A and B are shown apart, each in its own frame.
Chain A
Amino acid sequence: MSFLVQRVAAGGLQLAEVPGDVLSIGRGTRAVLRSENPAVSLDHANIAADEGGYTITDLGSITGTYVNGRPVESTRLGKGDVIEIGDLHLDVQSADPTKPLFLRVTRTRAQSSDFEEASVAEVAMPGVASLKAPKIDYAGEYRLQRPYLTKVAVTAALVIFCIIVIGEITKPKKQTLFAPGAVSSAHSRDTKGDPMDCQTCHEPFLGATSSRCERCHGPMQHATNQETPPSCTECHAEHRGQGRLASISNNLCVDCHGNIAAHMRRASSTPNVVSFGVNHPELTYEPDHDTLRFNHKLHLQKGGVFNAQGMREELNCTFCHSMFDVRGKIDPAAIKFNNDCKHCHRLTFDPRFPDAEVPHGGDPRNAYGFILATYAGNRDIAGKSPEELRRILTQFRQASVDERAMLNAEQVIKVKCGLCHEMKRDAKGSWIATPPVIPARWLNAKFSHGPHRTLSCEECHAHAEKSAKTSDVLMPQRNACVGCHAERSSTLLASTRSRTHKCVLCHEYHVHSNNSLPRFSPRSALVRADVGGSSGMLESILFAAAVVLLLVVFVPVGVALYQRMKPARAERNAERRTEPVPPPAAAKIPPMQPKAPPPPDPPTPPHIGSTRVMQPDEPAAHQGTEAMVWFGMLRCTAGPLEGQTFIIEDDGIYIGRDPSLSKIVVDDSRVSKRHVRIVPRDGKVWAIDQNSTNGTFLVSSAGRERITEHQLKRGESIVLADDAATFMYQI
């Protein structure tokens, strides 16, 4: 006796002959006809051959054995019978007792739905209620993608959010969000103290143009012969977080001035300069006009000079060149006779009149008038100011001039004034002093004595003590400056060194003549520009985009919700229809379902104890995945069960030899009947040895270690007895 099993495989039909009297069917390794499907028990059924034919016997399987759609315990097979075991579908092609049983095996998964419908229709029995299992696409339900939650929907939601954010920040007043850095203090606020609008300086798509700068600052230019003037922003870069825009680095100047010829089309005499310390030209000053006689050496001589009282007085520089503080800049005031010279040089002319001093400056005729008037007896004019004298003298009638007095006056003026002034005779023959020309500013650069006040005067104006000639220019030379102002000067503090070598420290880039000095009047010049007249358009574009995206998001969500609601409502209606199921306590006779087919077997009347009272059915809330508890699984890596996996249940599983005591049965005499228990406790999985004879061991890198109780970690293996079986814990 034997069996012929024909399988439908990918390559076509396969035929195999199985010798023996019994064909075992199941999921276990002992089975000859195997299926991996969990619906098939380990030992599901077998087909035994005897003289009378072939008999199929269910071996207490869970899912049952069906022949021609009916569950069977044991039945004899005939030709044409169809056996269904789990997913196995066996067609009995021939059942002749004298020949091998011919079985054709197919899997039913593909036709499972048809099969289900058929079987449900068949087994729908008119009980208390016939049941229909819900058909759920578990794989689909547990997928991330939901009809209302797709990547497109998430994307659209996010984009809507982005557009709202962007719409908010492109509003006129909020565009500082685009600012790539803080603006300088002068540009940060307008005259009302509000943040300055971007478009005050920025022209759309052109950037911050010079014309926008000139709106407030007026036209500004560098040297008049500059051929390609740079735009304002090339030097004054905004949004860099610096407080002042005028702090320009040397590089910008040296770019051109390092090699002037390369930037000029025609020849230029301007020297090339790389830095002040290297090849900066010597400081040049205009020559002294030599119109006033002054001897620095004499005034500064040791031991002093005689003053008006006839006492010797020692002078220093600031005795005459007094320093004045004008708006933070400390500089020497211009020398005035009345302030600086008169202390010693009193303009008296006759010892008989010790208080009569000739008025200094103004019309030379005043001096004549004063002297003549003094000799004429008009003593009351002594000590009057020049303006008052002029008024008094012009009121006098022209008195006949005393010849002697006239000679005296000539002599006084020639001697007294000629001490310092260059004296000439004018057309009428009177003595007249050439007006002195003293430059207000010698150095053609930004300079203040203030920062240099810690130095003594001689350190820069070294020649003063030796200069006897008026034409000596006592201004410092470059050497005096380079000591501190060279690029790598070591004599200065580090805090100031970074700016003391800058070109703009002394040089002014823009040409300021007094006439063209721009009057900065932001009040009149600022044009309040809202961003964009285009902002309205921008808003409508954003609105349209938001509407489109809302459709993309909410329509699928709405559809999905509707679909979700519909079955729920249908279910509720169905429930309402079946609601009149009376509580079993009251129902002695099972109510007949109107549509139920007639019963093939008399239904078992439900046994109801008279004292039992049922609670009315309450719709159970969706439990979902919470009810599912996963503690991992054991994979047998060695031993008779090798390759099989066992899921760890929440109340634990026993491994042992005795099938009645243990769920995982290891058929090996070294294993105790109940060997080890694998049980979850507080979310962790423990292996607890059940006082086994040969012990349970934990495999670790150090070797094997006998355990009584051990918390299993992922990947750990336990060995039962002496290599009887090895189980690895996996998650």
Chain B
Amino acid sequence: MPVARSGILWRRIFLLLLIAVVGAYFYNARKEFPHGGSTLGLTYGTIGYALILLLAFFGIRKRWYRSRFGTLEQWLQSHIYLGLLALVILLFHTGGRFNDKIAVATLILVAIVVASGIVGAVLYVTIPRLLTEVESELTVDEISDQLNQLAKQMARIASGRSAPFQRIYNQLIEESIPGWLGGWRLLISRLARKKSKKQTDLSSLLALVPRDEEVELRQLLVVSRQRKELLIRLLFQQRYKNILEAWLYIHVPFTIALLVFAIVHIAAALFYRRVLV
């Protein structure tokens, strides 16, 4: 995967700022007791909070298609590198003192958000490659349409047949109905599982089907098998898509929670300490 130019640019900016932040901290630590309320601590805290707001703005900028202020790619690269920098700055903002429990909670939230962001960035590099491997010519929506069409065909085959036949049909259809929170279970379920009990039940049912419906039954089973293959394809594509998206369910809500805690932390700092002269 070729690295985008803005990626290199932002990596350099990140390294320079990182050196500046670390250097300034250790230079200042000799003169001033390092803590969140020292001059440097307040500076870092303010910069850190501004960065958090800027980074959170990425979520708006991403959906703001008409904006011409920087390309989205530049925004993404800056989001990644400034996000890492924000964690470093806020770590130095603490001055190595972790007593204020609200502040520590805020820092933990920052760490969670940055960590999930790193996971997301790694996923964005690795998963699309895997996705193209499994991606067939059909999109997930097309497969979904096909599944419904095949279900129609199965219904067509099973219509007017004997009761056991229809029960087989029902079971085959029900097997394929997505369960509760199917997308999430897709993430955590081991893909290979033991045969479920349902399938063995089916075999006992098969014996009950009248002999003169055997041709249709075979047709039904073949269509069902085809349908199952399609469904597996869909699940597999969708699984990668879900993996690509799931980390956002941590990243985004925790960002908002972080903002809440940050505001409380700042309010408390203003309330208990004279920050503004």
Contact = CB atoms under 8 A, between A and B. Distances in A.
Given A131-B155, A628-B235, A181 B99 contact: yes
B271 A204 contact: yes
A126 B160 contact: yes
B257 A620 contact: no
A177 B228 CA distance: 56
B74 interface: no
Contacts of A131: 155, 158-159, 166, 169
A36 to B, nearest CB: 5
A614 B163 contact: yes
Contacts of A617: 163, 167
Nearest to B216: A604
Contacts of A141: 178, 182-183
Interface stretch (A153-161, A333-341, A409-417, A466-474): A153-161
Contacts, number: 294
Contacts of A140: 144
Nearest to B273: A207
B180 interface: yes
Interface of A: 36-39, 62-64, 87, 109, 112, 116, 119-120, 123-146, 149, 151, 154-155, 157-159, 161-163, 165-166, 169-170, 177-182, 198, 202, 204-209, 237, 239-241, 581, 583-584, 603-604, 606-608, 612, 614, 617, 620, 622-631, 633, 645, 647, 650, 680, 683-684, 730-731
Contacts of A182: 99
B147 A180 contact: no
15 contacts: A128-B166, A130-B160, A131-B155, A133-B151, A139-B144, A144-B249, A146-B183, A165-B105, A209-B274, A583-B163, A603-B160, A604-B213, A606-B161, A612-B208, A731-B191
A180 B99 contact: yes
Q: Is the interface of A mostly helix, strand, loop or mixed?
A: loop
Contacts of B230: 38
B260 A623 contact: no
B127 interface: no
Interface string B219-250: 10011001011111111101001100110110
**How many interface residues does chain B have, given as a range?**
35 or more
Given A177-B100, A617-B167, A119 B238 contact: no
Contacts of B232: 628-630, 647
A622 to B, nearest CB: 5
B101 A169 contact: yes
B198 interface: yes
Contacts of B152: 116, 119-120, 133
B102 A169 contact: yes
Please indicate which of the listed interface residues A144, A161, A237 has the most CB atoms of chain B within 10 Å of its own CB. Answer: A144
Contact of B149 (A39, A198, A606, A612): A39
B268 interface: yes
Given A149-B181, A683-B192, A731-B191, 19 more contacts: A39-B146, A131-B155, A138-B143, A139-B238, A144-B187, A155-B253, A158-B253, A158-B254, A198-B272, A202-B272, A205-B271, A208-B273, A603-B160, A606-B165, A607-B210, A622-B177, A628-B231, A647-B229, A683-B193
B63 interface: no
Contacts of B272: 178, 198, 202, 207
A128 B160 contact: yes
B67 interface: no
A577 to B, nearest CB: 16
A204 B273 CA distance: 8
Contacts of B151: 133-136
B62 interface: no
Contacts of A584: 162-164
A134 B161 CA distance: 18
B66 interface: no
B203 interface: no
Interface in B179-227: 179-187, 189-193, 195-196, 198-199, 208, 210-213, 219, 222-223, 226
Contact of B147 (A138, A154, A159): A138
Closest 6 CB pairs of A and B: A127-B160, A624-B179, A607-B210, A606-B162, A207-B274, A133-B151
A124 B156 CA distance: 7
**Which of B148, B198, B222, B231 has the most CB atoms of chain A within a 10 A radius of its CB?**
B148
B235 A625 contact: yes
A169 to B, nearest CB: 7
A134 B177 contact: yes
Interface stretch (B32-40, B83-91, B115-123): B32-40
Contact of B156 (A112, A123, A154): A123
Contacts of A631: 191-192
A139 B234 contact: yes
A364 to B, nearest CB: 63
A153 B187 CA distance: 20
A26 to B, nearest CB: 14
A38 B178 contact: no
Contacts of B52: none
B260 A159 contact: yes
Contacts of A624: 177-180, 182, 185
B80 interface: no
A583 B101 CA distance: 68
Contacts of A731: 191
Contacts of B169: 131
A158 B182 contact: no
Contact of B133 (A109, A135, A155, A730): A730
Interface in B91-106: 97, 99-103, 105
Given A158-B253, A584-B162, A623-B196, A142 B260 contact: no
A144 B178 CA distance: 12
Nearest to B181: A146
B182 A629 contact: no
A647 B182 contact: no
Nearest to B105: A165
A37 B138 CA distance: 8
B35 A180 contact: yes
B176 interface: yes
A607 B254 contact: no
B170 to A, nearest CB: 7
A676 B132 CA distance: 28
B177 A623 contact: yes
A606 B210 contact: yes
A155 B260 CA distance: 11
